[in-house]
């Protein structure tokens, strides 16, 4: 499982993003289930990589939503 890059996510359309989010979430649930049952995951960093990809995907989806709404509330470096 390679991390999704922001450029790759931005090139997807809205439906592809939703489908990818659903796929990543189900994969994360599977990996957490394996870990909870005491099994060793095939790749120890996979859960972390999945979480990061999900968070990147959701962040970009939220940015697109704000952009389409014309939301003025945009976080800048000065407000951090």
- How confident is the model over 46-67, as pLDDT tens digits? 999 999 999 999 999 999 988 8
Name all domains of the chain by residue range, CATH numbers in brackets. 6-69 (1.10.287.310)
- C-alpha span between 51 and 45 (Å, rounded): 10
- C-alpha span between 77 and 26 (Å, rounded): 34
| Whole-prediction pTM | 0.79
- C-alpha span between 51 and 35 (Å, rounded): 15
27 and 1 in contact (C-beta within 8 Å)? yes
Query: What pLDDT score does 10 carry?
Result: 92
Tokens read off for 37: 């049952």
- C-alpha span between 57 and 47 (Å, rounded): 15
């Amino acid at each position: 499982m390679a991390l999704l890059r922001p450029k790759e996510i931005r090139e997807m359309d809205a439906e592809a993003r939703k489908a990818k989010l659903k796929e990543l979430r189900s994969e994360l649930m599977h990996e957490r289930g394996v870990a909870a049952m005491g099994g060793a995951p095939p790749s120890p960093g996979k859960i972390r990589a999945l979480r990061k990809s999900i968070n990147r995907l959701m962040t970009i989806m939220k940015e697109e939503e704000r952009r389409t709404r014309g939301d003025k509330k945009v976080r800048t470096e000065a407000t951090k």
